[in-house]
Amino acid sequence: MWSNTLLAAACLPVLAQAAVFSLSDLSWTLKNANGSIVVPGSVPSQAHLDLLAAGVIEEPLLGINEYLQRWIVNDSWTYTADLTPYTQALGSNTSETTLLVFYGLDTIANITVAGHPVAWTDNQFRQYVYDVSDLIASPVADDKNLTVVFESAYFYGLNVTSSPNAKTPLGSDYFEYAGFRQYIRKVQSDFGWDWGPAFVPSGIYRPAYLVTLSDAPTYESEPAPNALLASSNGSVFIDQYSLEITKVGQTSVVAPNQNADWLVNVTLAVRSVVASTDPVLVISIPELNVTSAPINLTAIPASTSEPIFVSGTFTVPDSVPERWYPFDLGTPKLYNFTVSLGLSDTARTSFTARSGFRTIELKQLAYTQEDIDTRGITPGDQWHFEVNGKVFYTKGTNIIPFDPFYSRITSDKVRWVLESAVLSGQNMLRVWGGGIYQPSDAATGVYDFYSACDELGILAWSEMIFSDATYPLNDFLLATIDPEVRENVRRVNKHPSNAQWAGGNEIENMVIGMNKSYTNGSHYLDEYNYLFGDFLYNITYEEQCAVAYTDCSTTNGVLTLDPYEIRYANKTPGHIYGNGERYNADASQAFNYSTFMNEFGWEEVLENPEDFAFNSTVVASRDRHPPAGSLIWPNPNAPQGQGQMTMGVEYWLPTPNTTDTNQTFAQWCWSTQVFQSMNMVSEIAFYRRGAGQGENNLGALVWQLNDIWQGVSWSSVEYSGRWKVLNYGMTGIFSPVVIYPFWTPENATLEVLVTSDRWETVNGTAQMTWYDWAGTPLGSTTQAFAVPTLNNSVVYQGEGLDKILPSGQAAEDVWMLLNVTANVNGQTVTNEQYFTPTSLANAKLVDPEIQVGRNADLTFTLSAQGGVAPYTWLDHPAGTVGYFVDATSNKPSNGFYLVPGIDRTVRFKINPVLSTVLAPNPADFVVRSLWNNTHI
Residues tagged active-site: 506
Distance between CA atoms of 228 and 238, rounded to whole angstroms?
A: 6
Rounded Cα distance between 800 and 794, Å, is: 18
Number of residues assigned to the chain: 936
Residue 251 CB neighbour total at 10 angstroms: 12
Phi then psi for residue 285, to 5 deg, are: -125, 90
DSSP string, 57-79: S--TTSTTHHHHTHHHHTS-EEE
Count of CB atoms situated within 10 Å of the CB of 225: 18
Return all residues near 746 (Cβ < 8 A) that are at least 6 apart. Answer: none
Tabulate helix, strand, coil % of the chain (nearest 5): 25, 30, 45
Neighbours of 163 (CB within 10 A): 11
For residues 544 and 555, what is the distance between their CA atoms, to the nearest angstrom? 22
CA distance to 336, 357, 720, per residue, from 494 (Å): 11, 10, 31
Rounded distance between C-alpha atoms, residue 699 and residue 400, angstroms: 19
Long-range contacts of 414-417 (CB under 8 A, 24+ apart): 414/447, 414/448, 414/449, 414/452, 415/3, 415/5, 415/448, 415/452, 416/3, 416/721, 416/881, 416/911, 416/913, 416/914, 417/705, 417/706, 417/717, 417/721
Please tell me the distance from the alpha carbon of residue 705 to that of residue 468, in angstroms, as a whole number: 20
Torsions phi, psi of 420, nearest 5?
-65, -35
Instruction: Report the 10 Å Cβ neighbour count for 803.
Output: 10
- Range list of H helices, 285-410: 369-375
- Scanning 599-637, the segments in alpha helix (DSSP H) are 617-621
Which long-range CB contacts under 8 A does 364-372 form with residues at least 24 apart?
364/548, 364/550, 364/557, 364/558, 364/561, 364/578, 365/558, 365/561, 367/696
How far is Cα 125 from Cα 103, in angstroms, rounded to an integer?
9
Among residues 719, 722, 727, the alpha carbon closest in space to that of 880 is found at 722
Three-state SS for 455?
A: helix
Q: What distance in Å separates the CA atoms of residue 674 and residue 875, rounded to the nearest whole number? A: 13
DSSP H/E element including 827:
strand 827-835
The H-or-E segment that residue 240 falls in is: strand 236-247
For residue 419, give the H/E element and its range. helix 411-423
Give the CA dihedral 17, 20, 25, 31, nearest 10 degrees. Answer: 130
Task: Determine how many CB atoms are found less than 10 A away from the CB of residue 11.
Answer: 12
Q: What is the bridge-based pairing of β-strands 394-399 and 384-387? A: unpaired
Q: Is the peptide bond before 704 cis (omega within 30 degrees of 0)?
A: yes
d(CA 641, CA 194) in angstroms, rounded, equals: 10
Q: Of 290, 327, 332, 363, nearest to 698 (Cα)?
A: 363
